[in-house]
Amino acid sequence: MQRFMRLAIVHDWLKELGGAERVLIELHAMYPNAPIYTLFYDTKFAKKHLFNARIHASFLQRIPFIAKIYPTLVWLMPIAVESFDLSQFETVLSSSVTFSKGLVLKPSARHICYCYSPTRFLWDRHTEYGGGLGTRLIQHVLRLWDHSSAARVDQFIAISETVRNRIKKYYQKDSRIIYPPVRFDAMPDTRDEIQDTSFYLIVSRLYKHKNVELAIKVFNKLKYPLVIIGIGPEQKRLSGLANQRISFLGHLSDQETAWYYQNCRAFIMPQEEDFGITPIEAMGFGKPVIALRKGGATETIIEGVTGEFFDDPIPEALADAIIRFQQKTYDQKRIKAHASQFSPDRFRLEIDNLLNS
């Protein structure tokens, strides 16, 4: 597979493990000789997840406490991205959530961007970030740069049809879809004690836009057990809203999380995702998903076969979907078979074919 003598991979930053970072880990496994360029990185994260990778950081790495203060330095990030010297590479693959698509390369170099979405705080979610005139001015300037930098990309890859539509709308660029890889090979840990396996499950970072509060309101009312795995700035507030049948487990290992996937009754996704890896992980264990009918979920969930949808992000709609779910039966083998189309093998083949085309 490693046929590129001069391939570089570029990622925005390496701070915590999310969906984009899992894709990067897969890309590094595919092309272990390709160096990784990033704005800044956490050394513990790199040692744990990208062992033996050659990582090159921008000048932002030298700023004290960069991993904590980076949101205040977004205005520097375009300069940092453009400062990378990639003149020795013929092919550059950017893994872009925000700014890493904005590379300046030599004319003969080929730039392929694996795009998780056009920079969300500049485009479709820009009004959520508030702020005064100064913030709006910075957003405006960054939006101009972001749009112009997209023109430097030779080939966009979108993670879903939802993202492909955004790329066309905001960047006026065509793209092809290659779904992210989803692994199902984490073996569940073994537990001798009797466990209540009637619970529903959420695996999510706890940010406001993840809409976990909606699920808490519904499960408070229905009095069904709900397990929430994940950490984030909303954790304390959300735990204060939850009744005793809702459990917050914080961060768990893949093996520990696999046990909850294997033993839950269904997976709950109350938010819109660009793609959504966690519901596919749940389906990989044969578990149906109850999801908001928006974004990537509409491409990965088959209504009545692998799960149920609800149309509006309101408690009544989610409660109705849960009740509909309880009145049906689901074929675990069919759910697993459906999830298998998002495997790493499929991702590797499609990426490798594109890079070698």
CATH code of 7-177, in short, is: 3.40.50
d(CA 310, CA 130): 29
Nearest CA to 354 out of 30, 53, 38 is that of: 30
pLDDT at 168 over 80: yes
Hey, what CATH topology would domain 200-342 get?
Rossmann fold (3.40.50)
- Spell out the domain ranges in the chain: 7-177, 200-342
pLDDT digits (tens, 9 = 90+) for 294-312: 999 999 999 999 999 999 9
Mean pLDDT score across all residues of the chain: 93
Determine how β-strand 226-229 pairs with β-strand 200-203.
Answer: parallel
Q: What percent of the chain has pLDDT over 70?
A: 95
**pTM of the complete model beyond 0.85:** yes
Q: Which H helix or E strand runs over 224?
A: none
Round to the nearest angstrom and report the end-to-end CA distance of the chain: 13
d(CA 116, CA 191): 37
pLDDT digits (tens, 9 = 90+) for 40-56: 999 999 999 998 999 99
pLDDT for 194 equals 43
pLDDT bin (cut points 50, 70, 90) of residue 1 is very low
pLDDT digits (tens, 9 = 90+) for 109-160: 999 999 999 998 898 888 777 678 888 899 999 999 999 999 999 999 999 9
d(CA 175, CA 130): 31
CATH topology agreement for domains 7-177 and 200-342:
yes
